[in-house]
Amino acid sequence: MYPLWFAALPLALLPWLAWLRPHALRFSTLAGVTTRRTWRSLGVPVLPLLETIAIVGVVIALARPQEVRRETHRESEGIDILLAIDTSGSMDSPDMRAGARELTRLQAAKLVMSQFVSERPDDRVGLEVFGEDAFVQVPLTLDHEALLSFIEQLEIGMAGKNATAVGTAIAIGAKRMKELDAPSRVMILVTDGRSNAGSVSPLQAAEAAAALKIRVYTIGVGSAERRGPFGMMGGAEIDERSLRAIAMKTGGQYFRAADTSALAEVYTQIDQLEQSTARTKEFVHRDERYLLALLPAIVAFVLQVGLGATLFRRLP
């Protein structure tokens, strides 16, 4: 594109200046001259008009107008992330807050998990539910819209209400992730209790996950005291020592979240620790469009020359 050529557009006025200049024939008298308007005399202005079109078209063509199309290709190396959420009965304790709103531990976990998923579009994310038992509710997927729908449907007791099988949850999650081809594999395990069910101990499961190079981030949720239907119920049951050991064995970290804002901060820290890599390439396609101006200019020039030499020929 050469926009400086547009400075030559005033040249298009030259044909009109030439046409408007006075033309005269010298006669001794005009008595014998009669003036009668004919279609030829009325059509004479067509000549400068055609010449103007020709000049404008040539100037635009010299400016080389182009149609620019941009294509952006995003190449990403996402992380495989399995969200393991405790849905045992204790997660129904209403001791978490979001602003002025009181939430149960499960509701708070669902709220923060959904935001975490929404902010990682390049990662495959899955959902595991555990209580007395454990199962993968949503296999790892890039369909985050469907995943968010399943997170919203999580309920207390989906995998058993009366116990917590942390070791089983880690073992099943690690088994599901071991054959996945990703630069990084991560499990985020959220619980408010201690492992008291299942045939696999949490530390045994953590050793297996570490052997598969799966990092496990553990999060203990709930206030310092548990609240039940009849008021406060004493100290927290979270087995922080075990959760910290699980994280240490697998190269992850343990976090304690006593309220919704702290839980959100935990996921923010994990988001910063587990960065996806993405490369963006932009391709620019330029299509020349000067012929759209040049062809009408050529046609106008040919018509101007032809009509000027025949139908609209003028005496000097």
Structure confidence at residue 56 as a pLDDT band (50, 70, 90): confident
Task: Identify whether 29 is part of a domain.
Answer: no
Average pLDDT over residues 34-57: 69
Residues 51 and 99 in one domain: no
Residues 189 and 302 in one domain: no
Closest CA to 283 of 54, 69, 22: 69
Interval 243-283: pLDDT, tens? 999 999 999 889 888 777 878 888 888 777 766 555 556 67
Q: What was the pLDDT predicted at 169?
A: 93
Residues 15 and 124 in one domain: no
Closest CA to 195 of 170, 232, 164, 159: 164
Residues 54 and 148 in one domain: no
The tokens describing 210, both together, are 């570490």
Residues 143 and 58 in one domain: no
Task: Identify whether 25 is part of a domain.
Answer: no
134-141/124-130 β-pairing: antiparallel
Interval 21-31: pLDDT, tens? 655 555 555 55
Residues 4 and 82 in one domain: no
Residues 188 and 60 in one domain: no
- Spatial distance between the Cα atoms of 48 and 34, rounded to a whole number of angstroms: 26
Task: Identify whether 214 is part of a domain.
Answer: yes
Task: Identify whether 60 is part of a domain.
Answer: yes
Domain containing 157 equals 74-279
- State residue 159 phi and psi, 5-degree precision: -120, 25
Average pLDDT over residues 51-65: 83
- Spatial distance between the Cα atoms of 106 and 237, rounded to a whole number of angstroms: 16
* Of 34-43, 99-108, 213-222, 265-274, highest mean pLDDT: 213-222
Task: Identify whether 30 is part of a domain.
Answer: no
Select the more confidently predicted residue: 219 or 76.
219
Residues 3 and 83 in one domain: no
Amino acid at 126: G
| Least-confidence region, from 194-208, 229-243, 261-275 | 229-243
Task: Identify whether 202 is part of a domain.
Answer: yes
> How many domains does the chain fold into?
2
Residues 137 and 256 in one domain: yes
Residues 62 and 78 in one domain: no
Residues 199 and 90 in one domain: yes
Is-contact 262 220, C-beta < 8 A?
Answer: no
In the DSSP assignment, the letter for residue 175 is H
Average pLDDT over residues 105-127: 88
Which residue in the block uniquely carries the two structure tokens 């400068």? 48
- Spatial distance between the Cα atoms of 199 and 134, rounded to a whole number of angstroms: 12
- Give the CATH number, domain containing residue 186: 3.40.50.410
Residues 199 and 236 in one domain: yes
Task: Identify whether 28 is part of a domain.
Answer: no
